[in-house]
A = this chain, B = another copy of it.
Amino acid sequence: MPRILRLAAAQMGPNQRADSRDAILARMVALLEGAAEQGAQLVIFPELAFTTFFPRWLLSGAELDAYFEPAMPNPQVAPLFDRARQLGIGFYVGYAERAEDGRRFNSAITTGPDGAILAKYRKVHLPGSVEPRRATASSSSRSATSSTATPASPPSAAPPPGTLPILGMLICNDRRWPEAWRCYGLQGVELMLMGYNSAAYDPNGGSTEDASLRAFHSTLAVQANAYVNATWAVSVAKAGNEDGSGLIGGSVIVDPNGLVVAEAKTLGDELLLAECDLDACRQGKEKMFNFAAHRRPEHYRRIVDQTGAIPPKG
């Protein structure tokens, strides 16, 4: 019997800083309900879905704290959790996490159809461009949403056999790093979930990258890594002009061949639906990317033995 999972990518338009939490949650619940009406069992929201992408400012103190979730769920996100449980559908959502010990992370969770949290992930890869130039204080909003945490494993709680896939989660810039995908591929991942807020302009202040090139990069990374890990993948944007900064759209659902099966057409709230046959992962996992048969880790030492590039001596 084929293992079919009906997914919805819930791309979101911008969350302005002035938008109330209630207004944002109402949009998310509307997306959730629209997905449920179309039979979705799992809905994927973007990174930092409940707020504006506040790391674009250097905030601190109470102004910064207001963007963080002290626990998950909590009263200020309850409407989403409650409605999902009523509808019997799970979701992935990105949020700013303030841990009990005070550390701050850029995190994501995935819930099951009963509302229980199946797994949590904390972002590993800092944004590639802006961070090093501008982060100044360890309490800044940027360093606060980076992470020193271990990436979450796919859910260690047993999924009901034959129904739920082996899940992996990434956040935004993580999706550009094949190492991150491979760590999930090596756990047999069948469905990778990720949300992002990606600038629609050259984040280095130059003119060498535009929205079209950046959307191409976003999709290319997902297609190739889905293919070489033989997994379904869902990559979901918060898009549009948010507080004066442009964000790319281009949310996609990609199959284990790396083919795009659904793609966002707008920069606003938009649902993409796909019926995913999880057994479509098998051809890749058993043949071309049968890791046990074909990987040669004895040749891959540089990947863990060094961090930066070391050019050969002339």
Q: Is there contact, CB below 8 Å, between A187 and B311?
A: yes
A219 to chain B, nearest CB (A): 10
Which residues from B are CB-within-8-Å of A308? Answer: 186, 290-293, 295
- Contact: A300 with B220, CB < 8 Å? no
Residues of A within 8 A of B (CB): 124-126, 128-129, 132, 150-151, 153-156, 158-159, 161, 166, 173, 176-180, 182-183, 185-188, 203-204, 206, 208-209, 213, 216-217, 220-221, 223-225, 227-228, 257-259, 283, 285, 287-297, 299-314
Residue of B176, B182, B204, B224 touching A303 (CB-CB under 8 A): B182
Q: A176: which B residues are within 8 A, CB to CB? A: 228, 288-289
Q: Could you tell me the distance in whole angstroms from the C-beta of A197 to the nearest C-beta in chain B?
A: 15
Min distance, Cβ A60 to any Cβ of chain B, angstroms: 23
Asked if A124 and B312 make an inter-chain contact with CB atoms under 8 angstroms apart, the answer reads no
Q: Which of B183, B188, B209 is A300 in contact with, Cβ under 8 Å? A: B183
- Give the complex CA separation of A301 and B297 in angstroms: 11
Looking at the assembled complex, report how far the CB atom of A8 sits from the nearest CB atom of chain B, in whole angstroms: 25
Q: Which residues of chain B come closer than 8 Å to A185, judged between CB atoms?
A: 309
Residues of B within 8 A of A125 (CB): 294, 296
Q: Which residues of chain B come closer than 8 Å to A296, judged between CB atoms?
A: 124-125, 179
- Given the known inter-chain contacts A221-B224, A309-B292, please indicate yes or no for A213 contacting B156, CB distance below 8 A: no
Which residue in B132, B290, B305 is a CB contact (below 8 Å) of A293? B132
| A220-B221 contact in complex given A128-B289, A312-B153, C-beta closer than 8 Å | no
* In contact, B217 and A303 (Cβ under 8 angstroms): no
For the complex, give the distance between the alpha carbons of A285 and B224 in Å. Answer: 20
User: For the complex, what is the distance from the CA of A126 to the CA of B293, rounded to whole Å?
Assistant: 9
Q: Is the CB of B302 within 8 A of A186?
A: yes
Q: Is the CB of A290 within 8 A of B221?
A: no
Q: Is the CB of A312 within 8 A of B154?
A: yes
A290 → B minimal CB distance (Å): 7
